[in-house]
């Protein structure tokens, strides 16, 4: 596995009361031109961590740091 030396955390910029699902995130990312999810993990409000993009696949979410 490649050496990972940074972690980037994003927010969905949605209302706390909204239920923004991983499926909605994927749809939004594809609409923005991504092949799939841009992120490696999705963290739910209840603390559940959902793997999305494999770690051996470069993310598409941190311009200038995707490597």
- Give the pLDDT confidence score for residue 27 in this predicted structure: 93
Number of folded domains that form the chain:
1
Backbone φ and ψ for 17, nearest 5 degrees, come out as -80, -10
- Taking the alpha carbons of 44, 42, 49, 63 in that order, is the dihedral positive or negative? negative
- Give the pLDDT confidence score for residue 18 in this predicted structure: 84
CATH number, domain of 2, equals 3.40.80.10
For 13-34, how does the pLDDT look when each residue is reduced to its tens digit (9 = 90+)? Answer: 888 888 888 899 899 989 988 8
Burial classification of residue 20, based on how many CB atoms lie within 10 Å of its CB (0-12 exposed, 13-18 middle, 19 or more buried): middle
Q: What is the mean pLDDT of residues 36-59?
A: 88
- Give the pLDDT confidence score for residue 66 in this predicted structure: 61
Print the domain residue range for 5. Answer: 1-67
Q: Which residue has the higher pLDDT, 36 or 58?
A: 36
Task: Report the predicted TM-score, pTM, of the whole model to 2 decimal places.
Answer: 0.73
């Amino acid at each position: 596995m490649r050496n990972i030396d940074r972690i980037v955390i994003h927010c969905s910029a949605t209302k706390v009361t909204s239920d923004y699902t991983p499926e909605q995130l994927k749809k939004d990312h594809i609409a923005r031109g991504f092949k799939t999810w841009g992120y490696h993990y999705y963290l739910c409000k209840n603390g559940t961590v959902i793997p999305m993009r494999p770690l051996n696949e470069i993310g598409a979410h941190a311009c200038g740091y995707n490597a």
